Amino acid sequence: MRLNDAVIGAFLLLFALAEIGYTATFPKLHGQPFGPDLFPILIGIGLGCCGVVLVVRGLQARARPFSIGASWITLGDWAANPRAVGNFIIVLATLAAHIPISEIIGFPLANISLLFVVLLRLETAWRPAAGLAIAVTVFIHVLFVKLLLVPLPSDPFHIFAPIDDLYAFLRGLIVNPS
């Protein structure tokens, strides 16, 4: 998605004005001329100036009829391709829904199924996709949950119980050799 510089510039200008306006709600440091609002205001001024420059540039580009920025917005060629649009949505959905789904069905099952679906969607054959999905999930489980103690949503079905047992056994060998 390519936007004309003027569109981006105008957006930056509006954002800068809103941001500077919002800093008025910040408290002052007692007895100091500088407070928590100083830096946001400076950043806002900087963004605003850049916004003006971009607006000017964008308008110049529009004046030249056959340049890249001649139209306000140019969608990438993928926008016309339903498959690419679908891919885009699936990636975002996976990112957003992975943890919430994990909280219901547990991380292992959620990760295996989501990874499997995305792999299939991107045209990996189903056998390698299933194998990879399981292997990667086991790797993440051992590394993050067991070794790094990251509390990924727990699994109500205990499908990785054998792996946990094996890990506990190996850990016992290293920590308490006696």
Partner 1 sequence: MTPLTRLLRAAVLVCALVVGAQILPMTGARAEYPDRPITLVVPWAAGGGTDATARIIAALLERELGKPVNVVNRTGGSGVVGHTAIALAKPDGYTIGVITVEIGMMHWAGLTALDWRAFTPIALYNTDPAGLHVRADSSWRSVQDVLRAARARPGAHKASGTGQGGVWHLALAGMLRAGGAKVTAVPWVPSKGAAPGLQELVAGGVDIVTSSVAEADGLIRAGRVKPLAVMSADRLPSHPDVPTLLEAAGLPWEAYSWRGLAGPKGMSPRVQAKLVRAMERVYASPDFVRLMKKRGFGVAWAAGDDFADWMARSDRSLGKVMKALGLAR
Partner 2 sequence: MEAFLAALALVFDPFVLGVMLLAAVFGLVVGAIPGVTATLATALLIPVTFFMEPTPAIAVIITTVTTAIFAGDIPGALLRIPGTPASAAYSDEAFALTRKGQAELALGVLLTSSVIGGLVGAVLLALFASSLAEVAFKFSSYEYFWLACLGLSTAVVISSGSAVKGLVSLLIGLFIATIGIDLMAGHPRFTFGSAELSGGVSFIPAMIGMFAVSEVLRFVTTTARGRADAPQQPLRRIFAGVAPVLWRYRLNLGRGGLLGAFTGILPGAGSDIAAWISYGVSKEFSAEQRKYGSGHPEGLVDAGASNNAGVAGAWAPALVFGVPGDSITAIVIGVFYMKGMNPGPTVFQQTPELINAVFISFFVANLMLLPLGYVAIRLSRRLLSAPPHTVMPIVLVFCVVGAFAINNSMFGVIVMLVMGLIAYVMEENGFPVAPTILGVVLGDLLEESFLASMIKSDGDFSGFFSRPIAAALGALTLLVWLSPLLRLWFRRRST
Give residues in contact with partner 1 (CB under 8 A): 29-31, 149, 151, 156-158
Considering only the C-alpha atoms of the chain, give the largest distance between any 2 of them, rounded to a whole number of Å: 81
**Contact code string over 1-30 relative to partner 2, x by CB under 8 A:** xxx-x--x---x------x--x---xx-x-
Alpha helices in the chain (DSSP H): 5-22, 38-63, 82-105, 107-121, 126-140, 161-175
User: What is d(CA 137, CA 106) in angstroms, rounded to the nearest whole number?
Assistant: 12
Is residue 113 a contact residue for partner 2 (CB under 8 A)? no
| Tokens encoding 61 | 């580009």
Name which of 173 and 175 has its Cβ closer to partner 2: 175
Is residue 53 a contact residue for partner 2 (CB under 8 A)? yes
| Tokens encoding 79 | 């926008």
φ/ψ (deg, to 5) at 74: -120, 115
**Dihedral of the alpha carbons of 137, 139, 140, 142, in degrees to the nearest 10:** 120
Least CB distance to partner 1 at residue 156 (A): 6
Is residue 170 a contact residue for partner 2 (CB under 8 A)? no
Is residue 168 a contact residue for partner 2 (CB under 8 A)? no
Residue of 87, 105, 130, 146 that binds partner 2 (CB under 8 A): 87
User: What is d(CA 170, CA 165) in angstroms, rounded to the nearest whole number?
Assistant: 9
Burial class (CB in 10 A: 0-12, 13-18, 19+), 165: exposed
Name which of 73 and 169 has its Cβ closer to partner 2: 73
* Residue 98 binding result from partner 2, partner 1, none, given CB thresholds of 5 to 8 Å by partner type: partner 2
> Which residues are near partner 2 by CB under 8 A?
1-3, 5, 8, 12, 19, 22, 26-27, 29, 32-36, 38-40, 43, 46-47, 50, 53-54, 57, 76-78, 81, 83-85, 87-88, 90-92, 94-96, 98-100, 111, 114-115, 118-119, 122-124, 128, 132, 136, 140, 143-144, 147-152, 175
